[in-house]
Amino acid sequence: MLRAAIDLADERGLEELSMRNLAESLGVKAMSLYNHVANKEDILNGILDVIIEEIQEELADREASISPTDWKQRVRTRCLTARHVLLRHKWAPNLMTTRTTMSPTVLRYFDDMLGTLIAGGFTMDLAHHAMHALGSNALGFTQELFESDDLGPEVAAIFSQDPPPPGYRNLVEMAKHVEHDAETTLGGGCDDQFEFEFALNLLLDGLERLFERS
């Protein structure tokens, strides 16, 4: 049933995941779902747990070859693996940011990350701040505030004016620069994978410096 919910979200989006739609995809009526689950909240928390388990499974393969004390490589791998799984479930970040309570599965996931830092020699204090600083990177996503593919008509107008209107000149120039640089672009937009790794490396390098001084 959680599987069916995930498939539905993958194929039709999060907003199409209603009790009625989910029931239909299972060949049953909506009210029957309440025999297996307390409410919709339960389903949403449940599918997130399944996603986390997917990440953990993929991690088991990828982490095996890395030294337990090489915290930097391990943390990087954890974040990149999470991101790899989330690419299959693009709705997951939006769901994660709206969840309010944390399940044991998610807790377990964070415990592994924290354990990686401790095993690498972090003090409890630095490890604590590091967990917060990694933030959503630990779960494989960054807050995408630049949905450059879906700019509305008003914004499109700003970018097509020549000369560009005052107050928007820097962004227009940046857009041109990005477009003309074949190395950092993918299909006209930004290279999300590169940007994710750039931010992640910034954080990891910063933590490494603090670690070496502690």
Kindly list the residues in this chain that would bind DNA in the complex (CB under 7 A). Answer: 16-21, 28-32, 34-36, 39-41
Q: Out of 29, 57, 205, 214, which residue is the one contacting a copy of itself (CB under 8 A)?
A: 205
Query: Least Å distance between CB 18 and DNA?
Result: 3
Task: Tell whether residue 188 is a contact of a copy of itself (CB under 8 A).
Answer: no
Contact partners, residue 122, CB within 8 Å, separation at least 6: 71, 130, 211, 214
Q: Which one of 67, 151, 161, 189 is in contact with a copy of itself (CB under 8 A)? A: 151
Compute how many other C-beta atoms are within 10 angstroms of the C-beta atom of residue 67: 10
Nearest to 56 by CA among 74, 82, 92: 82
Choose the one of a copy of itself, DNA, none that binds residue 104, judging by a C-beta under 5 to 8 angstroms depending on kind.
a copy of itself
Residue partners of 52: CB distance under 8 A and separation at least 6: 105, 106, 108, 109
Q: How far apart are CA 108 and CA 118, in angstroms?
A: 15
18 contributes a contact to a copy of itself by CB under 8 A = no
E-assigned strand segments in 93-142: none
40 binds, among a copy of itself, DNA, none (CB under 5 to 8 A by kind): DNA
Rg (CA), the chain: 21
Q: Identify what 30 binds: a copy of itself, DNA, none; CB under 5 to 8 Å per kind.
A: DNA
145 binds a copy of itself per the rule CB under 8 A: yes
Asked if residue 104 has a cis previous peptide bond (ω within 30° of 0), the answer is: no
The nearer residue to a copy of itself, 26 or 96, going by C-beta atoms, is 96
Note whether 85 and 55 are within 8 A (CB).
yes
Q: Considering the complex, what minimum distance in angstroms separates the CB of residue 96 from a copy of itself?
A: 7
Would you count residue 52 as binding a copy of itself (CB under 8 A)? Answer: no
Distance from C-alpha of 11 to C-alpha of 41, rounded to nearest angstrom: 20
Pick between residue 41 and residue 57 the one whose CB is nearest to DNA.
Answer: 41
Query: 134, 127, 144: which is closest to 78 by C-alpha?
Result: 134
Contact positions vs a copy of itself (CB under 8 A): 93-94, 96-98, 100-104, 107-108, 110-111, 114-115, 118, 124-125, 127-129, 131-133, 135-136, 138-139, 142-143, 145-147, 150-152, 154-155, 158, 167-171, 173-174, 177-178, 181, 184, 190, 195, 198-199, 202-203, 205-207, 209-210
